[in-house]
Amino acid sequence: MLPTDDHDSDRRQLLASDLGWNLSRWAVTHPAFVWFLMIASSIAGLAAYWQMGRAEDPTFAIKTMVVGAVWPGATAEEMQRYVARRIEDKLRETPKLDFLLTYCIADRMMTLVQIKDSVRGKDVTDTWYQVRKKLDDIRGELPSSLIGPSVDDEYGDVYSAIYAFTGDDYSLAELKRMSEEARKRLLKVNDIEKVDLVGNQQEQILLEFSHRKLATLGITPQQIFDSVARQSVMLRSGSVDTLEDRIHVRVDRNFSGIQQIEAVPVEASGRVFRLGDVAKVTRSYETPPSFLMRFNGKPAVGIAVVMRKGGNVLELGKSLIREWEAIREEVPSGVQIDTIAFQPRVVEASVGEFLNTFFEALIIVLIVSFLSLGLRTGIVVALSVPLVLSMSLVIMNSMGMNLDRITLGALILSLGLLVDDAIIAVEMMAVKMEQGWSRLDAATFSWTSTAFPMFSGTLITVAGFLPVGFARSTSGEYAGGIFWVVGITLICSWIVAVLFTPLLGLKLLPDPAVRGSGSGGSHEDHDAFDTPFHRLLRRMVRAAVARPWLVIATTFGLFVVSIYGMSQLQQQFFPQSSRPELLVDVRMNEGSPIGATSQMLAKIEEKLEPLRAVPGTALAHAEPSVSVGDASDQGVQPGDIQYYTSYAGAGSARFFLALNPDLPNPSFGKIVIQSSSIAARERLRRSLKETFRNDPVFSSASMRVLRLDFGPPVGFPVQFRVVGQDPQVVRQLADRVREIMRQNPSAVDVNLEWEEPAKTIQVKIDQDRARLLGLSPQEIELGLQTLLSGSTVSFYREGTETLPVVARAVDEERLDLDKFQDITLFTLGGKSVPLQQIGQLEYAQETPIVWQRNQEQILSVRCDIIDGVQAPDVSKQIDRELAAMRSELPPGYRIDLGGSIEESNKANSALFGMFPIMILVMLTLLMAQVQNFRKMILIFGIAPLGIIGAVASLHLFQAPFGFVALLGVIALAGMDMRNSVILVDQIEQDIRQGLSPWEAVIESSVRRARPVILTAATAILAMIPLTSSVFWGPMAMAIMGGLSIATFLTLINLPAIYVLLFRIKPEPQPVGE
């Protein structure tokens, strides 16, 4: 028989006086004002929901700046030696610099300036300002003919919409002019920050001449250049002052067309020639082009739109649709304007999917509440959900947060937790009413008994998410909203539980069957906990406290097994995206011209075109589906592709946050395929990989077929960087690493960052003969540059555009290698000299590209992986195989780990770096609540129990352990400690109410079992809809498994550990009892 208390009313008054003001009592005694607060909160929450911006992913600063420079005629090694090295020397002084990654190719260099992940906000902009200043400081030290260095600090811009202009009967120049008119209109649309043109080619006026013909006529190229330049030089013509006005004299100097250029007089050898008689004048595009874009195989000009920060992408989408409808009506017939990427549609589908998931979770929470608490009690809990969400949305909106992948997922994650306090409060009220308490006393009892333990538990739960909120990494910045959303919702849930729930319970809870007398008489508290469930649990707890060491040893054994099991889980950084796009990366041999890259893309387009949905059919207008479907036994079929876009010379514009724009390179191309569904995407991926592997047409290029991935971009998932000073030694070591990597069965398409050397023609000048003929090496280089690639000799102004006038030799003389030695150069005196008279020609090879990281020579060995394995696991396997090779490396050489595992380690290190602060916060909150070192250690020691269930759950569902799953495991610690705080507080209350310490330990688990199990069940079941999410699934599975096991172990282990720590013994039973 348990002791009873006959003075409950006096005890309640004593507790109330001890704790001071009772907020719950104030709420139920001021109903009108509290009802007003509920209504006002709900209306404000709805208004905040409609005002909040929508986005696919949270915005954060891309901490990369691109510095570029062009030096016509320089080799890759010369670019590195005379340009890149000086730029890098200066940029190494940049504050907060993480690393410099530089590549040099012929004529061009680019350096990626990466600052530390810990840099946030305004500091990023300040750092880019410092980079600009440092580059300005060294401009005078760089070669005089260098173009640049230029900077691009908008590298991280994500385009909300991309469109393509195409037209069979229109030139690219005409499409460009139409695009520019459209751009001017789009810049006036609200929420648009920037509009860029993509794929527009520079027009030029081309003067093509035969050097043989000029030699025959006695005309030097320079005489032609001077004649053309004199026609467009802008000089002052003077002015005439009258008594009243100053009248300026203007000379019409601009060409009005090709005919006027052809009519330019050229004077040579005492004769005057018409330019059109000695050279061919045409209008064309830059040759070779620097960038090409095609949409469905047709040349295109693109328009890319950037939304301003904080804008609502859904509203932007509506505005864009209206504006484009007007633009389409005005463009000429035959011009097609197609949508390549439209983020508003993606966000709308994403928000819709998350809302469906949210309502599924909400329904589950309500069903659990109704079934476990009854209809009217469940309604009280159900009403707390919209109140908490309304208050949370108001705060989120005031903080400038958007509804995106992270915030929406965090709201769903919070849904299972935000009802905990309401359940505890209403369950306590229902129990007290069953024990015969009045409605008023029962409604206000939770404030005196559990309000402050609930608040401490809530803060501890929030502290479990603290590492992701303050982790100084890109991943932490991306996912940091989880901490803020969970923190806001849980604190709001506590406010609702102590302020609104008592009033709702007072009005809605049913009258129970009274088990005892009223507030002024005696009643048996134990009767409410004398159900079959409570009797079974009481026996289990008694058995546990009777054998505490056995319980602790068993739990510790399970914990050790779970730690081992965690090491056996597949490791992952971020999961793959569920978007239907498929990317094809094409890499020709370094040094290949953009024309060869474009031709290879055209061959791939021939394979894609039969699979494209026919315009005008239902397939062509269907929205991309995100349903996976079953395509295991199906081949590709017409309609699998909605459209495709090809890019040569660089990659696509960034239409997805995790997509890194590929840097300019003539030997690189990319195709972005919009598939009709996830199933179609997978069919296409298998088919293309098979085609590229077996079809000899594609053997001259390296092909990658990629899905989009979440998280920071990493390029190849498995990478090893060979670092050293001597390029030849680095190359030899990289070849050995490649052979080791190829032996791993999970590695596919193993390759080096560049494979083959580039072909060159070395002109060995006879310096003595060249001097006798009056030619210097610089004049020879300039002459060859003009004849072969062309030189800008003047400018042609047309409207607002300025077109360069480029002179070069005719194709028959400049493109035939057999006639290369017959090229004629001209001396300053006008003499023509065949190239073979001043030097010998030698065919040679050179390094086509030079990569450096922090001024160290690097050559990366990369590979993709087979399906069903994770990149970090493969990297670890290969890293172990490289251990013997590392021990033999020459001094100054090393092999660094890159790829997914490098970024994963950086993200995890940033999380672990916050652990001391998280632990300190948790311990501080625990000590503030329990005021006892042993109790604090007890509660904190229970925290890791969630790992047991989390690991078991991930193994059961065969889910990988990645960054998102790690967040779930960390958060479990706070959830577990929350229940422990309430249990320990219940022990103290029971002891104060007269129970012996032994019985208080047992009865605390019994008394708190129903709310603890109910809140855990609510949180667990609310996670079920999230398990189908590609991004959130691993976290949901970890929390579900961890919370399931931890809840049971807490109810059993905490009493066992408590009796050991406090040396509590059972009281001896009286003789005869």
**834 in any annotated domain:** yes
User: Which pLDDT score is estimated for 828?
Assistant: 67
CA distances from 119 to 205, 474, 475, 597 (A): 47, 9, 13, 38
Q: Are residues 583 and 678 in the same domain?
A: yes
Q: Does 71 reside within a domain?
A: yes
The answer to whether residues 687 and 765 belong to one domain is no
Burial class (CB in 10 A: 0-12, 13-18, 19+), 183: middle
- What pLDDT score does 37 carry? 93
Answer whether residue 529 is part of any domain. no
First to last CA, the chain: 10
Residue 976, pLDDT above cutoff 60: yes
pLDDT value of residue 390: 93
Lowest mean pLDDT among 267-276, 378-387, 585-594, 915-924: 267-276
* Alpha-carbon gap, residue 33 to 44, rounded angstroms: 16
Label the pairing between strands 801-809 and 203-209.
parallel
In this structure, the answer to whether residues 124 and 224 fall within a common structural domain is: no
We report the CATH number of the domain holding residue 146 as 3.30.70.1430
Query: Out of 411-420, 837-846, 1046-1055, which region has the weakest mean confidence (pLDDT)?
Result: 837-846
More confident residue, 778 or 410: 410
Closest C-alpha to 911, from 966, 976, 975, 873: 966
Residue 263 lies in a domain: yes
How high is the pLDDT of residue 214? 79
Residue with the larger pLDDT of the pair 46 and 309: 46
Which amino acid appears at position 146 of this protein? L
Among 737, 744, 743, which Cα is nearest to 885's? 737
Q: Is the pLDDT of residue 386 over 50?
A: yes
Beta bridge partners of 66: 112, 152
What is the residue whose two structure tokens read 């002109």? Answer: 763
Residue at 885 is within a domain: no
State how far the Cα of 139 lies from the Cα of 67, in Å rounded to an integer. 13
What's the token pair of residue 1036? 């949901």
Q: Write down the pLDDT at residue 120.
A: 80
Q: Is 118 helix (H, G, I), strand (E, B) or coil?
A: coil
Residue 163 has pLDDT above 60, yes or no: yes
**Maximum average pLDDT range among 679-683, 817-821, 973-977, 1003-1007:** 679-683
Q: Are 45 and 71 in contact (CB under 8 A)?
A: no
Residues 762 and 704 occupy one common structural domain: no
Assigned domain for 893 exists: no
Dig out the tokens for 1041 from the structure. Answer: 């498994």
Q: Above 80 in pLDDT, residue 198?
A: yes
Lowest mean pLDDT among 312-321, 454-463, 1059-1068: 1059-1068
- What residue numbers bound the domain in which 269 lies? 203-236+252-285+758-846
pLDDT in tens, 829-871: 667 777 777 777 777 777 777 888 888 888 899 998 888 888 8
End-of-domain residue from the set 155, 186, 219: 155
On the question of pLDDT at 1020 being above 80, the answer is yes
Average pLDDT score over residue span 294-299: 92
- Asked whether residue 664 falls in the same domain as residue 766, the answer is no
Question: What is the average pLDDT across 367-390?
Answer: 85
| Number of other CB atoms surrounding residue 410 within 10 Å | 26
Cα gap 555→539, rounded to integer Å:
19
The tokens 């670092």 sit on which residue?
Answer: 723
Query: Are both 608 and 687 inside the same structural domain?
Result: yes
Q: Is the preceding peptide bond at 717 cis, omega within 30 degrees of 0?
A: no
Q: What is the pLDDT of residues 931-960, one digit of tens each?
A: 889 888 888 888 888 899 899 999 888 888
According to DSSP, the residues that pair with 762 across neighbouring strands are 842
pLDDT at 647: 94
Whose tokens are 């799953």? That residue is 965
Residue 525 lies in a domain: no
466: tokens are 């603290």
Is 91 inside any structural domain?
yes
How far apart (Å, rounded) are the C-alpha atoms in residues 926 and 920?
10
Judged against a pLDDT cut of 90, whether residue 391 lies above it is answered with yes
- 679 with 772, same domain? no
Inter-residue long-range contacts of 609-617, CB under 8 Å, 24+ positions, other chains counted: 609/296, 609/297, 610/638, 611/636, 611/637, 611/638, 611/639, 611/640, 611/641, 611/684, 612/296, 612/638, 612/641, 612/642, 612/643, 612/644, 613/638, 613/639, 613/641, 613/642, 613/643, 613/676, 614/638
pLDDT digits (tens, 9 = 90+) for 690-742: 999 888 889 888 888 988 888 777 888 899 999 988 888 888 899 999 999 99
Domain match, 123 and 226 both: no
pLDDT tens for 505-519 read: 888 887 765 544 444
Q: Which helix (H) or strand (E) is 854 found in, with range?
A: none
Kindly report the average pLDDT of the chain as a whole number.
Answer: 83
| Range name among 364-368, 590-594, 745-749, 771-775 with the lowest pLDDT average | 771-775
**Residue 485: predicted pLDDT:** 92
Q: In terms of Cα–Cα distance, which of 798, 805, 785 is closest to 262?
A: 805
Residue ending a domain, among 814, 829, 846, is: 846
Do residue 700 and residue 785 come from a single domain? no
- Between CA 108 and CA 71 the distance in angstroms is 6
Domain end among 846, 870, 898? 846
The secondary element (H helix, E strand) that includes residue 303 is strand 301-307
pLDDT band, residue 475 (cuts 50/70/90): confident
Tokens representing residue 953 in the block: 């759950």
Confidence of residue 162 (pLDDT cuts 50, 70, 90): very high
Token digits of residue 76: 């890759």
Total number of domains constituting the chain: 3
What's the mean pLDDT in 523-547? 76
Q: How far is CA 619 from CA 635, 788, 917, in A?
A: 17, 48, 54
- For tokens 């095609």, name the residue: 294
Q: What is the CATH number of the domain that holds 229?
A: 3.30.2090.10
DSSP result, 337-390:
EEEEEEHHHHHHHHHHHHHHHHHHHHHHHHHHHHHHH-HHHHHHHHHHHHHHHH
What three-state secondary structure class fits 840?
Answer: strand
Euclidean distance between CA atoms 305 and 429, whole angstroms: 56
